[in-house]
Amino acid sequence: MQRQHPLMPRDKGHRRALATRRKMAVRQAWTPRSPVPELVARRGTGYRHRMQRWPTSHLTSRQTVFVIGDSHLRGLVDGHVLIPNVPLSFGFLSVPGGGAADLRTEVRRLEFPWTPDVVCVLAPSNDLDRGPFCDAAVEFSALLTSIRSRWPKVFVLDFPTRLNRPVGLQDRLRQEHHRVAARMGLPFVAVTTSFPLHRLELWCYDGVHLSDTGGSPILVKLLCDAALTLFKPDPPCASFPSSDVANKTLS
């Protein structure tokens, strides 16, 4: 067996073995890292006015309108959008984020100190995000039925179009609302033509809610006009003379 001369170059296997022994001889310092914390949702940095408590008002001699709806009424409740000078007194039930089922739950448990002359239901648009429209129609029908069981004079005000959802999808929901109201014989006030989609100043930055200075005053005007129309007296019925009067006229 021949021995390799010490000055001759070593083969690759020998060099790999030497490298492995060096790695094993030197102890590697290793410090375990701290566990990665779970993702925490961040809060937005935008500003929104603080929610205010609706003041308790005294009864007046004016005819009263009670408006039931979602967060589109928030500016009215907090006093950032004013009611025009009309001979009506308004009360509001605003349920931010509420759909028809949520509004019905609130109405059923509502203790009312007075009886309104008419009730306006702002059609809820939050049901756009809550399953099939057939379910939304059932819930909306249950809402109107619950309201009419307490107050007979009711009308429906359509919801303003959103900028963040397809218009066709919203039209399908409002058609369901309209169909339910028509089946129950309730007036349905359309509002879409009053909010042209190219007028972006009518909505706030989220594309859902109407702006306090642009869109909300238009919605309030539509509400007041519809309420005043319902309070107009019915035209007098045509009176026919009695038989005695008719006989005297003919003679």
Q: What is the mean pLDDT of residues 63-84?
A: 88
Please list, in sequence order, all residues whose beta carbon lies within 8 angstroms of the beta carbon of residue 40, skipping any fewer than 6 positions away. Answer: none
Say if 40 falls within a structural domain.
Answer: no
Domain that holds residue 104: 63-231
- Whether 36 shows a pLDDT value over 50: the answer reads no
Amino acid at 140: F
- Report the pLDDT value the prediction gives residue 90, as an integer from 0 to 100: 92
Q: pLDDT digits over 94-114, tens only?
A: 988 889 999 999 998 888 778
Q: pLDDT digits over 207-249, tens only?
A: 888 988 889 999 999 999 999 998 775 555 444 333 333 333 3
Say if 69 falls within a structural domain.
Answer: yes
Looking up tokens 């900028």 gives 163
- Whether 164 shows a pLDDT value over 70: the answer reads yes
Say if 205 falls within a structural domain.
Answer: yes
Amino acid at 80: H
147 vs 16: CA distance, rounded Å: 86
- Whether 174 shows a pLDDT value over 50: the answer reads yes
Say if 38 falls within a structural domain.
Answer: no
- Whether 156 shows a pLDDT value over 90: the answer reads yes
Listing DSSP states for the chain in one string gives -PPPPTTSPP-HHHHHHHHHHHHHHSPPP--PPPPPPPP-PPPP----PPP-PPPPPPP-SSEEEEEEESGGGHHHHTTSSPPPS-SEEEEEEE-TT--HHHHHHHHHT---SS--SEEEEE--SGGGGSS-HHHHHHHHHHHHHHHHTT-S-EEEEPPPPPSSS-HHHHHHHHHHHHHHHHHTT--EE--GGGS-TT-GGGB-TTSSSBPTTTHHHHHHHHHHHHHHHHHSPPPPPPP---HHHHHHHH-
Say if 240 falls within a structural domain.
Answer: no
Say if 170 falls within a structural domain.
Answer: yes
Domain count along the chain:
1
Domain of 211, CATH number, reads 3.40.50.1110
- Residue 104: which of 66, 71, 145 has the closest Cα? 145
